[in-house]
Amino acid sequence: QVQLVESGGGLVQPGGSLRLACSASGSIFSFNAMGWYRQAPGKQRELVASITKTGLTNYADSVKGRFSISRDNPKNTVYLRMNRLDTEDTAVYYCKAQRDSGLNYWGQGTPVTVSS
């Protein structure tokens, strides 16, 4: 059973930065892609950023130029660096891992609150 554990969320002021981490119980190289999603109160869960096994990245338009996703295969960890945070970035952030078969695994989420 794959387990994904997110960490790094918290309270930050507008304009600040955070780095989220998603640690997997097994080798992340076994996943076709990994990604970060977020869900704000009253809104649907949305893709923030993803990274494939080969390192190709994709970002939501709202975070391009501010967020950066990366992976550390030996540590079985995927990171999301978030800069110039805005109140609109407040949400619970979830990590997702996807198999080649399409099977998805989700973490439990880590809350991010951007507020002065």
Residues of the chain with pLDDT under 50: none
Task: Provide the pLDDT for residue 102.
Answer: 87
Per-residue pLDDT at 66: 98
Find the angle CA(55)-CA(2)-CA(74) to the nearest 5 degrees. 45
Question: Which pLDDT belongs to residue 8?
Answer: 98
Q: Distances from the Cα of 13 to the Cαs of 56, 64, 87, in angstroms? A: 30, 20, 8
**What's the pLDDT at 106?**
97
HEC-encoded secondary structure of 15-39: CCCEEEEEEECCCHHHCCEEEEEEE
- Encode pLDDT of 6-30 as tens digits: 999 999 999 999 999 999 987 877 8
